[in-house]
């Protein structure tokens, strides 16, 4: 898991966290990927933290920089054409 760069952070100035979370949940469900696996491989978070974020995403404007990081990672994951394929392969 690589640290977020300034470029990553500045690229995503505002994210609709509720919409993003719904998209991620749909993908995890469609490809039978566990929150634990997604959290470890993509977000660098425990399953409990991932579950909390996916269940109750806070609005972007209310998040600290640290709080925004998982959402930036999710957005970057969705924007990376090969990331999903790699994640699916790492599950099987």
Give the whole-number percent of the chain exceeding pLDDT 70: 99
The residue-averaged pLDDT of 77-91 equals: 91
Phi, psi of 21 (to 5 degrees): -60, -40
Give pLDDT, residue 60. Answer: 97
Q: Please tell me the pTM assigned to this model.
A: 0.90
- Please tell me the predicted confidence (pLDDT) of residue 40: 93
pLDDT category of residue 3 using cuts at 50, 70 and 90:
confident
Q: Token digits for 25? A: 């949940």
Q: For residue 81, what pLDDT band results from cuts at 50, 70 and 90?
A: confident
Residue-wise pLDDT for 14-32, tens only, equals 999 999 999 999 999 999 9
User: Considering just the CA atoms, what is the radius of gyration of the chain in Å?
Assistant: 12
Residue-range domains of the chain with CATH:
32-91 (1.10.260.40)
Q: Which has the closest alpha carbon to 70: 87, 1, 86, 34?
A: 1
């Amino acid at each position: 898991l690589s640290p977020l760069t300034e470029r990553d952070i500045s690229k995503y100035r505002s994210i609709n966290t509720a919409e993003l979370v719904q998209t991620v949940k749909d993908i995890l469900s469609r490809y039978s990927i566990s929150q634990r696996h997604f959290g470890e491989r993509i977000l660098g978070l425990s399953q409990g933290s991932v579950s909390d974020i996916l269940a109750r995403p806070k609005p972007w404007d209310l998040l600290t920089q640290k709080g925004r990081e998982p959402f930036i990672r999710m957005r970057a994951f969705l924007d990376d054409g090969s990331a999903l394929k790699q994640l699916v392969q790492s599950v099987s």
